[in-house]
């Protein structure tokens, strides 16, 4: 008897990495072995020395193939078994372990857009639909497009045991969101990458492409983000640490934006529920701020913050590493742990 293991990894494509995968058939009960691939075909090696290593780091049931088959998320290593330059997970693990005592939690809101035949799902041929507004959390065939894909994706994420916590239609036709979390920085990132892979894979069956482009349609349409909700144990117990975290993000704003996704300046314009990419602000209940403090958090004097800057195409390993590193270091320095 055998089972299929779908090895999944993040490639070296710039400015936005892609997901890759291939299947290995293994004997029942076999350990998942380290495997290899041709890095010259994934922007992770030159042709003269192209072998790269796949190291399994997270496994879950394969909800597409079913049975005992599994999905296997891998880190990419060089042949000396050190992290490859494109391996951003290894750096996150180091930072997460350093500040593990602060018990960081994340919830990431992943927006994305369905495309078919070169235009967003629901856009008429050669024109535009009605202006955005009625599509957000909408219902009805004239306002919602792609629901059958979204529902199947949700079901499969749940079957895989991922920490998916919700879905909703977004403000543009063919645009949707799913949320992953709350979970720790490494877990939420691993689950997000697998959830993305499942989204692409399921959309294949409908002959539809799912894109994480930050500004999929130019003009008076919202972009696509990955709003990142964050808290530590101290933030969940008091308000002063929340302000400390916001001030720390302000002091490191330029460094964060650099890694918050390609074409961020096209999305963070100061319009369409965004703050300008080069101006940091935070405020209570303010969706036009870089970082929002939910109104209930101010009332309760404890809770979490929402960094609204990350693009839909952000690498979750990068955004969680930066937020943990920046906020937890500041909280530690302030004695708010």
What is the residue extent of each domain of the chain?
2-86, 95-334
Other CB atoms within 10 Å distance of the CB of residue 243 = 16
Q: Which two tokens stand for residue 262?
A: 């390609």
First to last CA, the chain: 51
How many DSSP H helices and E strands does the chain contain?
9, 14
CATH topology classification for 95-334: Creatine Kinase; Chain A, domain 2 (3.30.590)
Q: What is the pLDDT of residue 259?
A: 97
Distances (CA, A) of 247 to 38, 67, 101, 180, 329: 44, 49, 21, 26, 12
| Residue ranges for the chain with pLDDT beneath 70 | none
pTM of the model: 0.96
Of 289, 293, 295, 290, the residue nearest 305 (C-alpha):
293
Dist. CA 283–CA 272, nearest whole Å: 17
Q: What is the pLDDT of residue 203?
A: 97
Q: Which two tokens stand for residue 238?
A: 């008091």
Distances (CA, A) of 139 to 111, 121, 178, 208, 287: 18, 15, 17, 20, 24
Of 112, 92, 94, 88, the residue nearest 10 (C-alpha):
88
Instruction: Report yes or no: 5 and 69 within 8 Å, Cβ to Cβ.
Output: yes
Dist. CA 179–CA 163, nearest whole Å: 8
Dist. CA 245–CA 260, nearest whole Å: 18
Of 56, 92, 72, the residue nearest 317 (C-alpha):
92
CATH 3.10.20.70 fits domain 2-86: yes
Q: How many residues does the chain have?
A: 337
Q: What is the pLDDT of residue 90?
A: 98
Q: What is the pLDDT of residue 94?
A: 98
Dist. CA 193–CA 110, nearest whole Å: 11
Buried b (16+ CB within 10 A) or exposed e, 175-190: bbbbbbbbbbbbbbbb
Distances (CA, A) of 115 to 31, 205, 207: 39, 13, 9
């Amino acid at each position: 008897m055998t089972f299929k293991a779908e090895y999944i990894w993040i490639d070296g494509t710039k400015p936005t990495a892609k997901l890759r995968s291939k299947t290995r058939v293994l004997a029942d009960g076999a350990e998942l072995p380290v495997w290899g691939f041709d890095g010259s075909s994934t922007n992770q090696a030159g042709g003269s020395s192209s072998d790269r290593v796949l190291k399994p780091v997270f496994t879950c049931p394969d909800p597409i193939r079913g049975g005992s088959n599994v999905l296997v998320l891998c880190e990419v290593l060089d042949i000396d078994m050190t992290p490859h330059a494109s391996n951003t997970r290894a750096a996150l693990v180091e930072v997460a372990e350093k500040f593990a005592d602060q018990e960081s939690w994340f919830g990431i809101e992943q927006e994305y857009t369905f495309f078919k035949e070169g235009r967003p799902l629901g856009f008429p041929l050669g024109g535009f639909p009605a202006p955005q507004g009625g599509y957000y959390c909408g219902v009805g065939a004239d306002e919602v497009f792609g629901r059958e894909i979204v529902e199947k994706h949700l079901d499969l994420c749940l079957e895989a045991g991922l920490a998916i916590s919700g879905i909703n239609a977004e403000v543009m036709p063919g645009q949707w969101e799913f949320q992953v979390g709350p979970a720790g920085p490494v877990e939420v990132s691993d689950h997000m990458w697998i959830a993305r892979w499942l989204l692409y894979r399921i959309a294949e069956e409908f002959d539809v492409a799912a894109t994480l482009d930050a500004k999929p349609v130019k003009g008076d349409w919202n972009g696509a983000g990955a709003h990142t909700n964050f808290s530590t144990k101290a933030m969940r117990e008091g308000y002063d640490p929340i302000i400390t975290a916001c001030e720390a993000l302000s002091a490191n704003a330029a460094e964060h934006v650099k890694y918050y996704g390609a074409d961020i300046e096209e999305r963070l314009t100061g319009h369409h529920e965004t703050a300008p990419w080069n101006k940091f602000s935070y405020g209570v209940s303010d969706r036009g701020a870089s970082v929002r403090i939910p109104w209930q958090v101010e009332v309760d004097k404890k809770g979490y913050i929402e960094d609204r800057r990350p693009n839909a195409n952000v690498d979750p390993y990068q955004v969680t590493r930066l937020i943990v590193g920046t906020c937890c270091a500041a909280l530690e320095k302030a004695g708010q742990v």
